[in-house]
Each structure stands twice: as structure tokens, then as C-alpha cells.
Amino acid sequence: MADIHVSQAVAQDDLVIPLIDFSAFLSGTPAQKHQTAQAILNGFQTAGFIYLSNHPIPASTISSVFANSAKFFDRPQAQKDALSWYSPEANRGYSGYGREKVSLPDEDKGEVEKLRAVPDLKESLEIGREGEEGMPNMWPPVDGDDDAKTFKEVMLGFHDTCKDLHMQLMRAIALGMGIDESWFDGFTDGGDNTLRLLHYPGVSKKVFQRADGQLQVRAGEHSDYGSLTLLFQDERGGLQVRSPKGTFVNATPIPGTIVINAGDLLARWSNDTIKSTKHRVVEPPPKADSSDAETYPPRYSVAYFCNPNFERVIEALPGTYEESGKKYEGIRSGEYLVKRLTATY
């Protein structure tokens, strides 16, 4: 057997997140491609998360996205507030501190009120597919503002780049499932995806030691809604993934990798053979918090939320229901997402 490169990025409390070399899928032999596809699918079926190395997105592209994101969040608050997130249907625009509230699947509704008591310490900008009728992206005005022009160019370019990676990853999942490699192409070519820039501001360490005993977090426990999320994180740390034992395990940043997780709609689509695993962002782990400083430094991350084309109906994939039956009714992708977002904001 031709060997491929799979190691363990995280292994704790029965949570094993594989680190997978994607180059063997893109340019390996047919056997290597197949094994890589199986490793990717297996990661989503067991942990719900993978780390991807040797992916096709250049490091310089990612640096530029982070640099432009930081510049955006540096803008005066009034400028950002003028770009406010305006509807679940559009899911575009800026959310200030405390605006978005996480939403959990129906069975966990009782948890929501508890989580809402403590707002997240983050701000974000959501950027959708450009040119969607009646759903404009909320760009800082470009007239006479070169930074704003660059920002728009860089983010639109990145949107397309990530869309391509989503298509490749869904091809890997198809191949891993033993269905035609191009099976998902007609579900991923629309690019109905959302690029979310995230800024967790630097805060006093005291903020995390609440007198009322409530857990203060940077982003509350949640699962993502769509098919896959591509997560680019800086070196700060703080992302945690829930293990099968119910503990939260650090998903430590590994330079050059993308953390990819399956969302609720992909879990549903796979008749729950793929897992959408809960995760959250807390303060950086002790060793990374640079000494006895009074504050934790800011953290930046970039999440690209992928969705099946909004007009497509999502129902159990071939090979996932023949024995157990279909657990869910078909639902249109866009309808599912709007329902989830409506409960979130």
C-alpha cells in the first residue's frame, strides 16, 4: 500500500482529531488519493473535526486575509456599526460585542438561556456571495479609501479560494463514501457560503474570573450549521472541542494547517454517520498567555462556513440509510440555514 501521511493533531479523552496531508488527495496516486479520502471521511465520522496540512491555499493569501481583517476591526466603532448585520436571510454585515447568540439543536434548547446570560467577547463581520439580489455585502465605503478597496478585493478573492477547497473536500467525502467523486459538485458550485472574520479583543484576565460563578468565554459552546467549516486560527489558542467524555479539549493551533469541522446540515445529510461536534473559544491556555501580564492578548480567526447550494434539497445520502432508514425529512439547504440563523441573532 502506498503510504499517506496521517497523524494525530489532538488525542485526549477519546477525542482523536487526525492531521491529514491533503497533497496526497490532490496529486497522489489513485491509491493515495483514495486512502486520503477515507481518512478525511473517517475524521468527520469519528471526531467531526480534522486538521488539513499541505492544502492548496498559499500562506501569503492567509496572512493577507488576517492583516486586512485586523485593519478592519481597528476602524472606529461608528464605522463598523454603520455596516450592521441586517437579516438572517442575508447573513451579511457586522456584529458587535454580544450581538450574536449561539443556537443549539432543538434537544438542547434548555441550555440556551443559560448561555445567553454571559455574552461572548467577540466582534465579527460576515461576508456572503457577492452580487446576490437584495442582499448586499456590507463593505466599508471604498471611495477615497485604499484600505477599504484592498479589503474588499482580498476578501472576495478569499471567498472564491475557499469555495474551491470546499468543492475538493466534498469530493474527498464522496470518494470516501464510495459514491461518484463528482456527486456533490452540483451542491457546492453555487458558493452559498459565508466568510466570517472574527476578532476577540484583548481583555483583562479578571474578566474570566467571574464572581457569579458563570463561565465567561470568548465564544460559547455551539455546533456549526452548514456542511463544512474551514477555520483559520492565529497562534493564540483557546479553541476547544467537546470530547466523547463531555470534556473540552484544546484544539491547539498547528501552523500551516486548517481546522475543518462538519456542521449540522452535513450530519443530517449523512443520516448522522458524520458528526457535528460542539466547540467553543475560551481564554488562551496558561503556557501561551505570555507570563504574568494582566491581560490576554487579542485573538483573530477566520471561519468560512460552507453550505450546499441554497436551492438544493438535502436528504439522506446514498449508502447512509439503506439499513437504518432515513432519520430526517428532506429540507432545502437555504431554508435550514435561515431557520438556524433566526434562532441565533
* Number of amino acids touching ligand AKG (CB under 6 A): 11
Q: Choose among ligand AKG, Fe ion, none what residue 37 binds, the Cβ cut-off being 5 to 8 Å by kind.
A: none
Report the residue from 15, 274, 303, 338 that binds ligand AKG according to the rule CB under 6 A: 303
Strand 49-53 and strand 15-21: the pairing is parallel
Name which of Fe ion, ligand AKG, none residue 91 binds, using a CB cut-off of 5 to 8 Å depending on partner kind: none
Q: Does residue 10 come out as left (phi exceeding 0), alpha (psi in the -120 to 50 range) or beta? A: beta
**Residue number with CB closer to ligand AKG (219 or 314):** 219
Decide: is 301 part of the binding site for ligand AKG (CB under 6 A).
yes
For residue 52, what is its C-alpha cell? 488539513
Helix 30-46 with 146-177: angle, nearest 10 deg: 100
Pick one of 24, 148, 258, 281: the residue that binds ligand AKG (CB under 6 A).
281
**Alpha helix segments (H runs only) across 47-106:** 59-73, 77-81
The cell for 78 is 461608528
> Smallest Cα–Cα separation from 327: which of 280, 274, 281, 287?
274
In the bound state with ligand AKG, the residue whose beta carbon lies nearer, of 138 and 177, is 138
Give least dist CB 229 to Fe ion, A.
6
CA distance 238 to 286: 10
- Using the rule CB under 6 A, give the single segment among 8-16, 47-55, 158-166, 231-239 that binds ligand AKG: 231-239
257 binds, among ligand AKG, Fe ion, none (CB under 5 to 8 A by kind): none
Alpha helices in the chain (DSSP H): 23-27, 30-46, 59-73, 77-81, 109-116, 146-177, 185-188, 264-269, 333-342
CB-based contact 229:304 (threshold 8 Å)? yes
Residue 195 is a binding residue for ligand AKG (CB under 6 A)? no
Minimum separation from the CB atom of position 340 to ligand AKG (A): 12
Q: Give me the 200-229 binding string for Fe ion, x by CB under 5 A, dash otherwise.
A: ------------------------x-----
Task: Read off φ and ψ for residue 283, nearest 5 degrees.
Answer: -60, 155
Nearest-CB residue for ligand AKG: 301
Position 155 contacts ligand AKG (CB under 6 A): no
How near is the Cβ of 303 to ligand AKG at its closest, in Å? 4
Residue numbers of the site for ligand AKG (CB under 6 A)? Answer: 196, 198, 219, 224, 231, 233, 239, 279, 281, 301, 303
